[in-house]
Amino acid sequence: MEIRFAVNVRPKPGILDPQGRAVEGSLGHLGISGVGEVRVGRRIELTVTADDEASARAVVDRLAAELLSNPLIEAYDVEVLEGASSLMSTRA
């Protein structure tokens, strides 16, 4: 079976986030107020072919921990994107 996942990677609490600060610094120029706590991370979407969802999720967890994030300074979560085949045709 094919499952499409998303891995969301974000700076851990307390870790400096210069991109988030840059976004906050630009809000005034756009005349936008009321926005705060901006954190900028990465989102990786990928398709896994495996025998079952548990095996596919194990692959994604390993990828997320070893390749897609730096566990010293970043945290991640994994989403299953439902309807993998249709999502692929519109997003891939």
Q: Please give the residue ranges that form the binding site for a second copy (CB under 8 A).
A: 4, 6, 8-10, 13, 20, 23, 26-27, 30, 32, 34-50, 56, 59, 62-63, 66-68, 88, 90-92
Residue with Cβ nearer a second copy (67 or 72): 67
Chain centroid, CA 2 distance in Å: 19
Q: What is the DSSP letter of 80?
A: E
Residue closest to 48 by CA, chosen among 61, 36, 39, 35: 61
Amino acid at 42: R
CB of residue 72 to a second copy, shortest distance in Å: 17
CB of residue 92 to a second copy, shortest distance in Å: 5
CB 30 within 8 A of CB 23: no
Residue with Cβ nearer a second copy (37 or 82): 37
How far apart are the C-alpha atoms of 5 and 64, rounded to whole Å? 11
CB of residue 68 to a second copy, shortest distance in Å: 7
